[in-house]
Amino acid sequence: MQDLQDIARAIMAPGKGLLAADESNESADQKRLEAFGIATGEEMRREFRDLFLATPGIEEYLSGVILYKETLGQMDDKDGIPSKEVDHLLFPKLLSERGIMPGIKVDDGLDPMPDSPNETITKGLIGLSERLTEYRTTYGTTFTKWRAAIRIDGDRLPTSAALVENAKRLASYASEAQKAGMVPLLEPEVLLEGKHSRLRSRDVIETTLHALFDACRDQAVDLSSVILKTSMALSGKDTGRIDSPEDVAEDTLGALLNAVPKEVPGIVFLSGGQTPDQATDNLRAIARLAKEKNAPWPLTFSYARAFQEEALQIWMGKPENVPSAREAFINRLETVSKASLGQ
């Protein structure tokens, strides 16, 4: 079995990063397909995955792809040849054959917190170790993701109860993932939605990460074999304010340097509802500042929306648009990859 630290290092290979293609079926249908006027359902979700995963050349920029369980068992298109005349590959195999590691999201989504219904708690610990083993042995997944969602509302939210309970579950998941031989991606997403300032976002990110790493230490998680997936420090979406990349970099890195232990082998960013250009420019500024400040961990991208948006607008669910949609995707990948190097 590949050593966990080797997997983490491979995820963080310079100039590479992750594509998050792990929307649940409901999110894929409603937030991706329907939102762009594209038909929904299992076959359309398969075509949506194929659009991105079978794009030629992505191995130059992607070390891994985070998948959803339905996609593990679906097959590629072989460039639109749906007949049985060609050998179709399961998506995880298609990726592995091109040197891209398949990963799997294993949380089961969000439930409202009983005492604070505007906040959520992530579920999915029941039966987790069996699922992890099955994904690892059947599909060759080498890393895995669990997402918690942290909402900011003035000084009221997040409550410390929500932070602590989400942190505990992230740590329990991380411990199970490591036992199953997979690198856990820990994603406590601090949401962009809200009227908060960038400084409030920075504070909440820092507090969230302190709670997370405290819980990891309590549960003896090996911090040298986890990857942190985090939000950037940004003004809340409802303020309408667009922060300068330099300000985003200063506050994001400030929070990370205060809260993330040095032994963590890598940090990846989610795009969180930023436009593709914002997610690119902010990553570039963060990468530059991290170099300047000699940050102890490598940093890169793990985007879903910032990679998908332009391609989905072109694709519209039509086979004849696949080549130009893929071109938009690979161009964005190349730009974001350069940005991760500060270029």
| CA distance readout (Å), 287 to 174, 189, 191, 333 | 26, 20, 22, 16
Per-residue x/- marks for ligand 13P, 10-29, CB under 6 A?
Answer: ----------x---------
Interaction residues for ligand 13P, span 174-203 (CB under 6 A): 187, 189
Q: Check residue 184 and give left, alpha or beta (phi > 0: left; psi -120 to 50: alpha).
A: beta
136 lines the binding site for ligand 13P (CB under 6 A): no
- Altogether, the residues listed in the chain come to a count of 343
Nearer residue to ligand 13P within complex by CB, 265 or 272: 272
Residue 119: how many CA atoms within 13 Å on its side-chain side? Answer: 24
CA gap 259, 243 in Å, rounded:
22
Interaction residues for ligand 13P, span 306-335 (CB under 6 A): 306
Long-range CB contacts (within 8 A, 24+) of 128-132: 128/173, 128/176, 129/176, 129/179, 129/180, 131/106, 132/106, 132/176, 132/177, 132/180, 132/182
**Taking Cα atoms as reference points, which of 255, 288, 298, 308 lies closest to residue 14?**
298
Nearer residue to ligand 13P within complex by CB, 45 or 305: 305
49 lines the binding site for ligand 13P (CB under 6 A): no
- Assess whether 229 carries a catalytic annotation: yes
Nearer residue to ligand 13P within complex by CB, 196 or 305: 305
Q: How far is the CB of 252 from ligand 13P (least distance, A)?
A: 14
What's the gap between Cα 172 and its chain centre? 19
Interaction residues for ligand 13P, span 137-176 (CB under 6 A): 147
Per-position b or e across 3-14, b if 16+ CB within 10 A of its CB: ebeebbebbbee
Q: Catalytic one among 16, 206, 229, 309?
A: 229
Number of residues that bind ligand 13P (CB under 6 A): 11
- Assess whether 187 carries a catalytic annotation: yes
Per-residue x/- marks for ligand 13P, 271-300, CB under 6 A?
Answer: xx----------------------------
Which of helix, strand or coil describes residue 233? coil
Q: How far is the CB of 115 from ligand 13P (least distance, A)?
A: 25
Q: How far is the CB of 237 from ligand 13P (least distance, A)?
A: 12
270 lines the binding site for ligand 13P (CB under 6 A): yes
Pairing assessment for the beta strands 110-113 and 116-122 based on DSSP bridges: antiparallel
Applying CB under 6 A, which of residues 196, 305, 326, 332 lies at the interface with ligand 13P?
305
Angle, helix 322-340 to helix 276-292, in steps of 10 degrees? 20
Q: Catalytic one among 23, 165, 187, 250?
A: 187
Nearer residue to ligand 13P within complex by CB, 77 or 152: 152
Residues that bind ligand 13P (CB under 6 A): 20, 147, 187, 189, 270-272, 303-306
Catalytic residues: 187, 229
